[in-house]
Amino acid sequence: MATITEIAPDLYRICTYIPQFNLQFNQFIARGEQPLVFHTGLKSLFPGVREAAASLIDLNRLRFIAFSHFEADECGPLNEWLTVAPQSEPVCSMTAKMVSVDDLALRPARGMTTGDVVETGSHRFRFIQTPHVPHSWEAGLMFEEVNRVLLCSDLFHQGGNPDPMTESDVVVGAKQTYDHYRGTPLDNYMPYTPYTDRTLQTLADLKPRVCATMHGATFVGDGEAALRRLAGVMREILSGD
């Protein structure tokens, strides 16, 4: 069953916990004149997520279906969303649009580059290109400028089934995830490149007050400090130095 939590004014987290993975899968819905969803969830989760989303917005008015990178839990049921939301369009990086999304989606995507903005009416989402952060060369994140919410995809990934929101240290949970995946087929699932630290510092400069992660609790607090600490942890564990 999907649960719904308001993480900022008219910005909602839809969460489904999957016990066999011991992991939460979260999507985020922004209400407004032109509503937005960030992350689609896995295709198998679509019926429950659609029902939860329909309790928050009229799906006929859903305008933007946005995601970070081309992966099943980011955009697996993209065409199902495009079908139930006839006015919607995919929103992704220009790279994702060119190399994957336009070939597979029912409608062309809006390709975004750093600084591009989509507005829902009450929210203003600025796109930031973040290649290989968290994964994949087409990755990008969105920053909601009104309430300073960073939609941060797999950054701060935490296992288990924590409470929806926390003011505690989410960097500890992220480090546990990296350690847990060592020596498994998921080892190095979070790549580390010469651009990783620079990208994380750029995100920290946004000074988010809320960091909305796909897996685990949404962090409320000093997002700048959390991102700078995360950069240090990733450098220590993932860089291979």
Supply the range of the domain harboring residue 27: 3-238
Task: Give the pLDDT score at 180.
Answer: 85
Which of 23-27, 34-38, 225-229, 236-240 bottoms out in mean pLDDT, i.e. has the lowest? Answer: 236-240
Per the structure, the count of domains in the chain is: 1
Residue 182 scores a pLDDT above 70: yes
Percent of the chain's residues with pLDDT above 90: 91
**Looking at residues 76-100, what average pLDDT do you find?**
98
Task: Give the pLDDT score at 31.
Answer: 97
Task: Give the pLDDT score at 105.
Answer: 98
**Looking at residues 74-94, what average pLDDT do you find?**
98
Task: Give the pLDDT score at 178.
Answer: 86
Q: What is the DSSP string of the chain?
A: --EEEEEETTEEEEEEEETTTTEEEEEEEE-SSS-EEE----GGGHHHHHHHHHTTS-GGG--EEE-SSSSHHHHTTHHHHHHH-TT-EEEEEHHHIIIIIHHHSSS--EEE-TT-EEE-SS-EEEEEE-TTSSSSTT-EEEEETTTTEEE-TTTT---S---SEE-S-HHHHHHHHHHHHTTSTTTT-S---TTHHHHHHHHHTT--SEEE-SSSPEEES-HHHHHHHHHHHHHHHHS--
Task: Give the pLDDT score at 184.
Answer: 87
Q: How far is CA 18 from CA 15, 56, 120, 216, 221, in A?
A: 10, 22, 30, 12, 27
How much is the mean pLDDT over the chain? 96
Q: Give the domain CATH number at 55.
A: 3.60.15.10
pLDDT (tens digit per residue) in 30-61: 999 999 999 999 999 999 999 999 999 999 99
Task: Give the pLDDT score at 240.
Answer: 72
Name the residue with higher pLDDT: 123 or 177: 123
Task: Give the pLDDT score at 241.
Answer: 67
pLDDT (tens digit per residue) in 199-226: 999 999 999 999 999 999 999 999 999 9
**Looking at residues 92-104, what average pLDDT do you find?**
98
pTM above 0.75, yes or no: yes
Task: Give the pLDDT score at 11.
Answer: 98
pLDDT (tens digit per residue) in 122-166: 999 999 999 999 999 999 999 999 999 999 999 999 999 999 999
